[in-house]
Amino acid sequence: MSNPDTQAVKNYLLALQDSICKKLEAEDGGAVFVDDIWEREINPDKPGMTGGGYTRLLVNGNVIEQGGVNFSHVFGEKMPASATAHRPELAGRSFQAMGVSLVIHPKNPLIPTSHANVRFFIAEKEGEEPVWWFGGGYDLTPYYGYEEDCIAWHKTAQDACQPFGKDVYPRFKSWCDEYFYLKHRDEQRGIGGLFFDDLNKWGFEKSFKFLQSVGDSYCDAYLPIVAKRKKLVYTEIQREFQLYRRGRYVEYNLVYDRGTLFGLQSGGRTESILMSMPPLVKWKYNWKPEANSEEDRLYKYFLKPRDWVTI
């Protein structure tokens, strides 16, 4: 098995961040991304953790109310105990983690929120084979459902997986449905997409190619939807519903999302992690959509795991 080319992954991730930001700016047509380069603060609870990141944020655009595209690369001298409990072979190893993570919150409630993440992890030890894996995916969270958008989103995801085997899309699509689920609401966060983790069985070359296929297809999946929906006029009621539904995004990320919780607990950079929070959110006690309304249809039809590609 060839050794993983960490530098190649890093180069890809930085180029991906740049290309996604450029395409989003072009689609927005108003604001541009503002850059924030940060170094990991020294955390006395986690000695030997260093690194930094490159956070890019667009606010108050024509289309995007807030969008964050974050690159980070952190190093640890020693794997944290919590991470090695189930993988004792990693205990005592040094590690690196790098990734691009993004969340786009459009202003218009007829455009869905989207999230994407691609990441690489490697644990090393002098004189031993490195242990590494890739993870990532993307998922879509509409406020108003359009069947054709869901189909197109999933077809693009399927196309990105196709060269790697027929079973890849259905497996990572199901994983996504399982992952983005709010147990306390018995609701899906959105209409899903792809989610994968611990990917190394294909060897480095093929696994890295898959990561690139996922990363490169995100804009192909999302931007056509943005382009189509951004022209639609929305009502105050639709905007209210979006602000209310954004509460579910907050609940999911703070209660369940492993990346968010691991980041916050391990002394990650809070502002970059919580860039995923929507800029404006409402909670309403016991609010329920009117029967047979479009809002009701979102819950009953769209926020259910569904086979969108053979519909």
**Segment interacting with a copy of itself (CB under 8 A) among 17-25, 142-150, 171-179, 181-189:** 181-189
Within 98-157, the residues that bind a copy of itself by CB under 8 A are none
The CA-CA-CA angle for residues 209, 121, 173, to 5°, reads: 55
Q: Identify which of residues 151 and 281 has a Cβ nearer to a copy of itself in the complex.
A: 281
CA distances from 109 to 148, 151, 265, 291, 305 (A): 17, 19, 32, 20, 22
Phi, psi values for residue 37, rounded to 5°: -95, 130
Instruction: Answer yes or no: are the C-beta atoms of 311 and 200 closer than 8 Å.
Output: no
Query: Could you say whether residue 25 binds a copy of itself (CB under 8 A)?
Result: no
Query: Could you say whether residue 284 binds a copy of itself (CB under 8 A)?
Result: yes
Residues 6+ apart with CB under 8 A from 254: 260, 261
Instruction: Answer yes or no: are the C-beta atoms of 6 and 205 closer than 8 Å.
Output: no
Within 237-266, the residues that bind a copy of itself by CB under 8 A are 247, 250-251, 254-255, 261, 264-265
What is the rounded CA–CA span in Å between residue 18 and residue 16? 5
Q: Identify which of residues 151 and 250 has a Cβ nearer to a copy of itself in the complex.
A: 250
115 as an active site residue: the answer is: yes
**Token pair of 260 as six digits:** 């968010």
Instruction: Answer yes or no: are the C-beta atoms of 164 and 217 closer than 8 Å.
Output: no
Query: Could you say whether residue 301 binds a copy of itself (CB under 8 A)?
Result: no
The single residue among 31, 275, 298, 309 that binds a copy of itself, judged by CB under 8 A, is: 275
Query: Could you say whether residue 31 binds a copy of itself (CB under 8 A)?
Result: no
Q: Identify which of residues 170 and 279 has a Cβ nearer to a copy of itself in the complex.
A: 279
Binding site for a copy of itself (CB under 8 A): 36, 55, 57, 59, 66, 68, 183-185, 247, 250-251, 254-255, 261, 264-265, 270-271, 273-275, 277-286
Catalytic residue IDs = 115
